[in-house]
């Protein structure tokens, strides 16, 4: 599978499972997938769309809980999961933090 072919349903079974995030050469740590959310599409159809236009992937987001340290900047990261394999170039942005960790989101649209 490639990033373009992943769907929300591919991640649903892996809710609360661990992923490895690669920071740099050899540096990695575990994060937990805590949410898999569908992103509703607005009721808009492009005037350029035709019946032959292939349907777009419904957008979705993944929320991960990271350790409280280190705080990571938003950027592309490589994630690895025992079942899904390696997910290169996932753009992850910070959402906030609490006593349980830091939260980051990846949006697929």
Q: What are the pLDDT digits (tens) for 29-49?
A: 899 999 999 998 776 666 666
pTM of the shown model? 0.84
90: tokens are 């996932």
Of 13, 58, 56, the residue nearest 33 (C-alpha): 13
Cα torsion 13, 16, 17, 18: sign: positive
CATH topology of domain 3-36+57-108: Thrombin, subunit H (2.40.10)
Of 89, 26, 91, 25, the residue nearest 64 (C-alpha): 91
- Given a contact cutoff of 8 angstroms between Cβ atoms, the answer to whether 64 and 34 are in contact is yes
Q: What are 50-63's pLDDT values in tens digits?
A: 656 555 778 999 99
Rounded distance, CA 104 to CA 87, Å?
Answer: 16
Q: What are 93-102's pLDDT values in tens digits?
A: 999 999 999 9
């Amino acid at each position: 599978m490639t990033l373009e072919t992943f769907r929300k349903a591919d991640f649903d079974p892996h809710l609360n499972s661990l992923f490895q995030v690669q920071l740099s050469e050899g540096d990695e740590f575990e994060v937990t997938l805590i949410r898999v959310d569908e992103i509703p599409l607005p009721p808009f159809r492009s005037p350029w769309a035709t019946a032959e236009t292939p349907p777009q992937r419904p957008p979705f987001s993944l929320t991960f809980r990271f350790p409280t340290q280190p705080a990571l900047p938003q950027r592309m990261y490589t994630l690895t999961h025992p079942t899904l394999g390696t997910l290169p170039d996932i753009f992850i942005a910070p959402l906030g933090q609490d006593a349980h960790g830091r939260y980051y989101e990846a949006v697929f649209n």
